[in-house]
Amino acid sequence: MTVEEIKTIDLKDLIQLGEFDCACGKRHSLGVAKVVIEKGAVKALPALLEEIGAKKPFLLSGHDTYAAAGEAVCKVLADVGIPYAEYVFPISPVRPTEYTVGSALMHFDYSCDAIIGIGSGVINDTGKMLARATGMKYIIVATAPSMDGFVSGTSSMDRDGLKTSLYSTAAWGVIGDLDILCNAPMHLLRAGVGDMLAKITSLMEWKLAEIIIGEDYCEVTAALVERALNQVMNQAEKLLERDPDAVRAVMEGLLIAGIGMNFAGVSRPASGMEHYFSHIWDMRSLAFEDAQFEQHGIQAGLGTLYTLMAYENFLKGGYQPEWKRAEQYVRNFSLDDWNRKLLAFIGPGAEAMIEGENREHKYDVAKHKARFAVIEKNWDEIVRIIGTLPPSAEIRALMESIGFPTSASIIGYDDEQVKTTFTMTKDIRDKYVGTRLFWDLGILDEVADKTFTPEA
């Protein structure tokens, strides 16, 4: 498969491939076997169950998602005489915690032989965890195209108060019934767009990471995800009318982003600095009673806008890689002080971040020096790649056109707190993102001030 081929292949044909040899030299697996996106797609469930030899599925849903699609699923199964067991989480909203997974497992019916998740974000993540724990095949009936985790083999969970990605079971089948998806809450449709917009910055950062730290990069995967992103952006204006083509574009885009992550074997194509804004806000909401949170995709969309603004200010600053400035900045950096700040702002979730640094040693002076040398050598290319990002105003206008929030004030964050969040995005995972580049250059605080401290 080449870049040219991936740009034109139909999603159906791609899924039929299962796996293929890529121009990047690797063999990529889709990670999902069946995808049905159409009106009335729920009716395909019995055939899918038959294909995996399942006689009695276990249905997992929440109050809202049961109302959205649970009845339709039960009716389809009852009509053809397929027995099932079910568990509807009694609390709302369901959060992706130890309690939720434990609760699902303790209500699991072991006479079942497959799991059907009915929902999107949290229900899907939990369903995949349950599938891994029980060793059963997993099908998701999507109730909203709100995030890109349908087909990934990991679940985004809150463990010990830390947002973490755990190995689970990728969905074998995905049902995207347009009758259901088009009626999803507008907020969740917007969230799906937000999780797609995140690909603008994550794809660019993937390229940066290839140059600066030699991370594996696959042009074919990047082209596939970029194509899905463009499709969503082109159709976005029709989303408010719940136009089936626009909703389909978002659902397909999110699936493709998930497939892209499966190709890469890491979340890189779909998640970068913009996602870490979201992770930090999620962790704060777990740690502090007054900290609010929003849908993953809404937070990721906000993070995308802030990330674009930061890169824009970096470009406007006309910076050059100056070793003197970088060295002095790093010399003045106190890891102990920084760790205290992380704990104070993020809460106990920061402990795992601090442990991560104890293993990774990204702040080591020698490692910094080595990275700086690479940055200096590739400076023009780095600036060129960052320059391929669209203007933040363009993305802001697109967000406004679909009623997408453009400020984290909707979850109670002021500029100063967003700035703090921004500076901490480099510490979430072992992933080279923009704030690491700015830190390496000794300009992180300058870029942060320019971006988040409005001129008095």
Nearest distance, CB of residue 300 and Zn ion, angstroms: 5
Q: Is 274 in the site for Zn ion (CB under 5 A)?
A: no
- Number of amino acids touching Zn ion (CB under 5 A): 6
At 239, list the tokens.
């989303």
DSSP one-letter string for 258-306 = HHHHHHHTSSTTT-SHHHHHHHHHHHHHHH-TT-----HHHHHHHHHHH
d(CA 105, CA 95): 15
First to last CA, the chain: 53
Q: Which is nearer to Zn ion, 220 or 411 (CB)?
A: 220
d(CA 378, CA 382): 6
Q: Is 220 in the site for Zn ion (CB under 5 A)?
A: yes
Q: Which window, 30-38, 104-112, 168-176, 292-300, contacts Zn ion (CB under 5 A)?
A: 292-300
DSSP one-letter string for 201-247 = HHHHHHHHHHHHH-----HHHHHHHHHHHHHHHHHGGGGGGT-HHHH
Count of other CB atoms within 10 angstroms of residue 20: 16
Nearest distance, CB of residue 254 and Zn ion, angstroms: 9
Q: Is 218 in the site for Zn ion (CB under 5 A)?
A: yes
Q: Which residues within the stretch 115-154 sit at the binding site for Zn ion (CB under 5 A)?
A: none
Whose CA is closest to 181, among 191, 173, 189?
A: 189
Q: Which window, 17-25, 45-53, 95-103, 340-348, contacts Zn ion (CB under 5 A)?
A: 17-25
Q: Which is nearer to Zn ion, 57 or 297 (CB)?
A: 297
Q: Is the Cβ–Cβ distance between 111 and 56 less than 8 Å? A: yes
Q: Is 60 in the site for Zn ion (CB under 5 A)?
A: no
Q: Which is nearer to Zn ion, 134 or 231 (CB)?
A: 231
Q: Is the peptide bond before 93 cis (omega within 30 degrees of 0)?
A: yes
Q: Which window, 73-81, 191-199, 246-254, 320-328, contacts Zn ion (CB under 5 A)?
A: 191-199
Nearest distance, CB of residue 218 and Zn ion, angstroms: 3
- DSSP lists the bridge partners of residue 166 as 155
At 373, list the tokens.
């040398």
Nearest distance, CB of residue 116 and Zn ion, angstroms: 23
Q: Is 222 in the site for Zn ion (CB under 5 A)?
A: no
At 207, list the tokens.
């390229």
Q: Which window, 47-55, 161-169, 175-183, 216-224, contacts Zn ion (CB under 5 A)?
A: 216-224
CA 144 centroid distance within chain:
15
Q: Which is nearer to Zn ion, 220 or 424 (CB)?
A: 220
Q: Which of 15, 24, 236, 326 binds Zn ion (CB under 5 A)?
A: 24
Q: Is 443 in the site for Zn ion (CB under 5 A)?
A: no
Q: Which window, 213-221, 387-395, 399-407, 436-444, contacts Zn ion (CB under 5 A)?
A: 213-221
Q: Is 22 in the site for Zn ion (CB under 5 A)?
A: yes
Nearest distance, CB of residue 263 and Zn ion, angstroms: 6
At 450, list the tokens.
């320019």
Q: Which of 125, 158, 195, 252 binds Zn ion (CB under 5 A)?
A: 195
> Residue 244 contacts by C-beta under 8 Å, 6 or more apart in sequence?
39, 178, 182
Q: Is the Cβ–Cβ distance between 433 and 427 less than 8 Å? A: no
DSSP strands (E only) in 22-122? 27-29, 34-38, 57-61, 85-88, 114-119
Q: Write the binding mask 398 to 417 for Zn ion: x where contact by CB under 5 A, - elsewhere.
A: --------------------
Q: How far is CA 54 from CA 50, 129, 367, in A?
A: 6, 19, 52
Q: Write the binding mask 148 to 187 for Zn ion: x where contact by CB under 5 A, - elsewhere.
A: ----------------------------------------
Q: Which is nearer to Zn ion, 261 or 350 (CB)?
A: 261
Q: Write the binding mask 293 to 322 for Zn ion: x where contact by CB under 5 A, - elsewhere.
A: -------x----------------------
Q: Which is nearer to Zn ion, 50 or 430 (CB)?
A: 430
Q: Which is nearer to Zn ion, 313 or 421 (CB)?
A: 421
Within 13 A of 420's CA, how many CA atoms are on the CB side?
Answer: 14
Query: Token match 């920061």: residue?
Result: 350
Interface ranges with Zn ion (CB under 5 A): 22, 24, 195, 218, 220, 300
